[in-house]
Chains A and B, each alone.
Chain A
Amino acid sequence: MSKINSNLYYKFTQRRNINNVIFTIIAITFTLISLIPLLLVLTYVLIKGGSQLNFQLFTNLPEPPGYDLNTAGGIGNAILGTVIVTFIGALISIPIGVGGGIYLSEFSKNGYFSKFIRFGTNVLAGVPSIIAGVFVYGIIVSTRIFNGASFSALAGGIALSILMIPTIIKTTDEGLKLVPNDLRKGSLGVGASKFTTITQITLPAAFEPISTGILLSIARAAGETAPLVFTALFSFYWSDNINSILEPIASLSVLIYNFALEPYESQNSLAWAASFILVLSILILSILSKLSSNKKQFK
């Protein structure tokens, strides 16, 4: 054989080995660069926000900028507001999203309509969140359609629901598709109606992926700002009765936005504190949803 009987040992000086090492180093470097922002942001939020933690933070109202230079008050109403607005968003988007997902997975026969809906879901998922705000401003805030109210918690919740619907539809659709067909056949085979089959057999079987998707979409919505800036606006007061949903409402994200741009240090600090609470809640929600979906894969 004409082939040179080359040595089997690894030779560092060989060009292919040098290339290999170079590219591996580049990949490692890129990975590290990609991780740095996460670590830095988390560190700063932890230090700058965590250091502000005290009891008053949760019970007090924020104070308008420039009112008192020593303190900016608390973020109690913003925490409550984020919970309320996100809750409204979830209340609207969960039935629509789960229902739409059920339609796609259980009823549609891959015709034009369902193709169009799937396509539309992806397109809606790509619509910039600020546009959702513009839309709700156009149909609700400026028209004062709800009892004459303009900026309101309800408008903010609706804007958030627009962002949540596509995620929930997609995860429901995909979650239901994972349910083995035998289960459906078994249920239909004993004479159960389609409604009974879906609500008693199929949906429960897909509970985990669907709840994961819902949790993720709630986590994302809780941090959204752009759709709230000119729908829910902001408020320096508690939203403490049922009429409050037709009034402007505070939220953590809008508080961060407003106070970050203020020239007063105490307001800036409050923005960091709000970031701490917001990031912590979102991370906990995301990790929870991650864990529940991991558990599913083990079964």
Chain B
Amino acid sequence: MSISAKGEYILKRRTRPEKLVDKGFKSIVVFFASMVAIILLGILLVVFAGSLQSMSRYGLGFLVNSDWNPVTNSYGAFTAIYGTLLTSFASLLIAIPLGIGTAIFITENIIPLKIRNIIGMMVELLAAIPSVVLGLWAIFVMEPFIRPILIIMHKFMGWMPFFGTRPVGPGIAPAILILVIMILPIITSITKDSLNQVPIKLREAAYGIGATRWSTIFNVILPASISGIAGGVLLALGRAMGETMAVTMIIGNSNNFTWSILSPGNTISALLANQFGEADGSQVSSLMYAALVLMLLTLVINIFAQWMVRKLSLKY
């Protein structure tokens, strides 16, 4: 080869194979990256196509009809939609103060850093426990434990429709509590990150003019990190809506509509987990329709959450 005139560097001029490898590699990673889009569109397409039959049959009435009856082949998802919205928002309401409080506690120097790091790690470990294990625990430990408390709530607040039924075991209330446990780590860790992103000079500014710790937190730190926290809360909401196993195991899977949180209920994801395996025909289509509703709900919330989180980085 003429190249050998250059000495031992036989690769001095790039060979065709090398160029091909480079090109091929790029094509492959582009394809892999596109997989995300393909999967996402695929999910939407499959769920949408699957629900067409049910959609044309029930239209939007599906969303407000609470009758779900495989025997008579009549389907409406209102009970499950109500359950999804109720459990996710109620759990959020409880988890927000707990999560933000915890995040503040582990970002402030109230106790030594080492202990705070351990607490932070423990909260993250909570996120690692599988949903199905929490469900198991909820069935055999948590629900029997809180039932007397729920019965007392029914006794004293039974005149309100939300507490109108006597608790008998699985139900919406324990499902809400288990959701609180599941979304706490999300809210805590995202709030922690947002608080840590607040520049130290702002904290110094407040301390420097004699603000107390909590005056600094409420007036300076929290306002400066609010959009990140809000984004985290929205992500948690999306997670709560889509959460399946633990809820399925403890909510009672009843399709009879009631306002009461003390009675068994259902969520869209629980409905899917319960019936999809054995469903056929128009039931599958109705389940797909319900899945589409869930998909769109979480999609909107997640997109909104991302937008919120991104706004945070624009602030400083």
Residues on A lying within 8 angstroms of B by beta carbon are 16-17, 19-20, 23-24, 26-31, 33-35, 37-38, 40-42, 44-45, 48, 95-97, 99-100, 102-104, 106-108, 114, 116-117, 119-124, 126-135, 137-139, 142, 162, 165-166, 169, 193-195, 198, 219-220, 222-226, 229-230, 233, 253, 256-257, 260-261, 268, 271-272, 275, 278-279, 282-283, 286, 290
Report B-chain residues with C-beta under 8 Å of the C-beta of A229.
273, 276-277
Range for the number of chain B residues in contact with chain A: 35 or more
A194 touches B47 (CB 8 A): no
Give the complex CA separation of A219 and B97 in angstroms: 29
Give the nearest-CB partner of B288 in chain A.
A134
Cβ-based interface call for B314 (8 A):
no
Cross-interface CB contact of B28 among A97, A99, A129, A272, cutoff 8 Å: A99
Give the complex CA separation of A225 and B227 in angstroms: 33
Cross-interface CB contact of A34 among B184, B213, B244, cutoff 8 Å: B184
A38 touches B126 (CB 8 A): yes
Give the complex CA separation of A253 and B293 in angstroms: 26
A128 touches B277 (CB 8 A): no
Report A-chain residues with C-beta under 8 Å of the C-beta of B235.
126
A139 and B277 contact, Cβ closer than 8 Å, known pairs A28-B105, A271-B136: no
Give the nearest-CB partner of A286 in chain B.
B128
Give the complex CA separation of A119 and B40 in angstroms: 11
Give the nearest-CB partner of A134 in chain B.
B291
Give the complex CA separation of A120 and B38 in angstroms: 10
B291 touches A20 (CB 8 A): no
Report B-chain residues with C-beta under 8 Å of the C-beta of A126.
235, 238-239, 242, 298-299, 301-302, 305
A35 and B119 contact, Cβ closer than 8 Å, known pairs A229-B277, A230-B277: yes
Report B-chain residues with C-beta under 8 Å of the C-beta of A220.
128
A138 touches B50 (CB 8 A): yes
Give the complex CA separation of A28 and B248 in angstroms: 32
Interface positions, chain B 63-115, Cβ under 8 Å from A, are 97-99, 101-102, 104-106, 108, 110
Give the nearest-CB partner of A16 in chain B.
B212
Residues on B lying within 8 angstroms of A by beta carbon are 14, 18-19, 21-22, 25-26, 28-37, 39-40, 42-43, 46-47, 49-50, 97-99, 101-102, 104-106, 108, 110, 119, 121-126, 128-137, 139-141, 181, 184, 188, 212-215, 217, 235, 238-239, 241-245, 248-249, 269, 272-273, 276-277, 284, 287-288, 291, 294-295, 298-299, 301-303, 305-306
Give the nearest-CB partner of B270 in chain A.
A130
A20 and B29 contact, Cβ closer than 8 Å, known pairs A31-B105, A127-B43, A130-B273: no
Give the complex CA separation of A39 and B188 in angstroms: 17
A123 and B32 contact, Cβ closer than 8 Å, known pairs A193-B18, A226-B245, A283-B128: no
CB distance from B300 to the nearest CB of A (A): 10
10 pairs of residues in contact across A and B, judged by CB atoms under 8 Å: A99-B28, A99-B32, A126-B298, A128-B242, A134-B47, A138-B46, A229-B277, A256-B132, A261-B249, A282-B129
Number of A-B contacts (CB under 8 A): 264
Most buried by B among A117, A135, A271: A135
Cross-interface CB contact of A120 among B37, B128, B213, B217, cutoff 8 Å: B37
A40 touches B105 (CB 8 A): no
Give the complex CA separation of A34 and B124 in angstroms: 11
A224 and B130 contact, Cβ closer than 8 Å, known pairs A129-B244, A130-B272: yes
Report B-chain residues with C-beta under 8 Å of the C-beta of A198.
25
A102 and B29 contact, Cβ closer than 8 Å, known pairs A40-B137, A126-B298, A226-B244: yes
Cross-interface CB contact of A45 among B99, B133, B181, B299, cutoff 8 Å: B133
Give the complex CA separation of A275 and B132 in angstroms: 9
B21 touches A195 (CB 8 A): yes
B136 touches A34 (CB 8 A): no
Give the nearest-CB partner of A27 in chain B.
B105
Report A-chain residues with C-beta under 8 Å of the C-beta of B242.
126-131
Report B-chain residues with C-beta under 8 Å of the C-beta of A195.
18, 21-22, 25
CB distance from A123 to the nearest CB of B (A): 6
A34 touches B188 (CB 8 A): yes
A131 touches B39 (CB 8 A): no
Report B-chain residues with C-beta under 8 Å of the C-beta of A27.
101-102, 104-105, 108, 110
B121 touches A290 (CB 8 A): yes
Give the nearest-CB partner of B303 in chain A.
A123
Report B-chain residues with C-beta under 8 Å of the C-beta of A135.
39, 42-43, 46-47
Report A-chain residues with C-beta under 8 Å of the C-beta of B18.
193, 195
CB distance from B252 to the nearest CB of A (A): 11
Cross-interface CB contact of A194 among B26, B28, B50, cutoff 8 Å: B26
CB distance from A92 to the nearest CB of B (A): 10
